[in-house]
Structure 1
Amino acid sequence: MSNPGTPLVEIAFRNMDHSPAVEDRVRAQIAKLGQFHDQIIACRVAVEARHRHQHKGHLYHVRIDLTVPNAELVASREPDAHQAHQDVYVAVRDAFAAMRRQLQDFARKQRGNVKLHEPPPHGHIREIAPAADYGMIETSDGREIRFSSASVVDADFAKLEVGDRVWFTEVTSDDGPAASTVHVEGKHHVVG
């Protein structure tokens, strides 16, 4: 039974004898993971020796299953792709490095440090003046965004109509808010 705040740790050796030295290395690596997330619930590590065909010795496979609140993270290092995994300590190091990266990414997402891709702003064309080379978009929140023929992507500026629904990329210009790119929704105003 683990103490509160101490993760449940299970270490299994497969196709090889138990190694106190490898177990100590694994436990040290688990302790280091606590620096990246303070709520590790459980960590299960399997160290497996796989026999190599036509060669002497073994390649080592290490799998880590880490349980944290709201997630289960898995890092697995296959020996076939890593000849260095002829050394069990290298296999352990590489598997824990992969888990550390996953845990850091997960912790950043939990803190909200990952940029979420927000949908681009939408609106409709409120005014269009092809002779003067400008148009105005009214956004759903009532703002007005200016654009020109150079901003329109995959459409013919001269064929745009008041009321056409658009999405755009907003920038700040000397004249106020402007659209650097404007995409027409639904209708395909092919440039001719």
Structure 2
Amino acid sequence: MQSPLEIAFMHVAPSDEIKALVAEKVASLDGVYGGITSCHVYISAPHQSQRQGNLFEVTVEVRVPGSELVVHHHKKDVPEHEHLRVAVRDAFAAMDKELKRWKDQVKGEVKAHDGPLQGRVTEIHRDEDYGQIIATDQRLVYFHRNSVVDGSFDELRPRDPVELVVRSDESEIGPQASTVRRIGALEFDPTPKGSRR
């Protein structure tokens, strides 16, 4: 973590035991995702319940590149939250889930399939030496004649299945394939089921 952990106690006496517990839970979050830039934890007992007495509230704010994740955990009068350790545990369990969800989103909006990326040719412009592919991750990918291996550009037809490698640096025209190779069949067909005939 780039910035030191910050813990604020409101209407609660600061406790070394709770500070140590929070530090342990933050270290666990760091294990889930090592790119956390800062973490702020607010612990308060603002609200008296007639049924249960003081109920602790724990708010955890975690900053990650390009985003801030916040969990405000009070559990609406859950009796166990009379115990501060339980309230801290529950808040960090919720943040653990939130961080994993965020991490999955950052990895890619669409889960990667095993093996090389595949797709189908959607357009071929032989006179201009380029074409387009709809990939299994639903991206429309441009390719040039020179990216087709085995010199088979002139043999490609719309709907032909291909395997492709997309360049990591996106060009002005969007995703661009560095390598395209015709294959026998797709393991995953990107065509929406409703449009098949």
Residue 77 (structure 1) shift: 0.7
2-structure distance, mates of 1:37, 1:181: 39
AA at the equivalent of 1:104 = K
| Alignment partner, residue 54 of structure 2 | 58
Question: Superposition pairs for residues 36-75 of structure 1, below 5 Å?
Answer: 36-55=32-51, 57-75=53-71
* Number of positions where the alignment pairs a residue of Structure 1 with one of Structure 2: 129
1:23 to 1, 9, 19: 19
After superposition, the Cα gap between the structure-2 partners of 1:53 and 1:103, relative to the gap in structure 1 and judged at 3 Å, is closer
* Alignment match, 1:130: none
AA at the equivalent of 1:108: D
The alignment partner of 2:90 has SS state of helix
How big is the shift at 1:53?
A: 3.4
Structure 1 residues 182 and 89: CA distance shift in structure 2, 3 A:
same
Which residue is 1:132 aligned to?
none
Aligned CA RMSD, in angstroms, stands at 3.2
Q: 2:64, 2:192 → 1: CA distance?
A: 43
TM-score of the pair, normalised by structure 1: 0.56
Partner of 1:143: 158
User: 1:40 Cα deviation (Å)?
Assistant: 1.0
Identical residues among aligned pairs (%): 29
The answer to whether residue 25 in structure 2 is matched with residue 12 in structure 1 is no
Secondary structure of the corresponding residue to residue 49 of structure 2? coil
2:194 paired residue among 158, 176, 181: 181
Residue in structure 2 matching 1:102, options 98, 101, 106:
98
- Normalising to structure 2: TM-score of the pair? 0.55
Contact 2:35-2:65 at 8 Å conserved across structures:
yes
For residues 75 and 192 of structure 2, the distance between their equivalents in structure 1, rounded to whole angstroms, comes to: 52
Runs of 5+ unmatched residues, structure 1: 124-138, 145-171, 173-177, 184-192
Cα contact 1:108–1:114 (8 A) shared by 2: no
Unmatched runs of 5 consecutive residues or more in structure 2: 113-119, 123-133, 135-139, 141-156, 160-184, 186-190
Q: 1:110 to 1:82 in 2, by over 3 A?
A: same
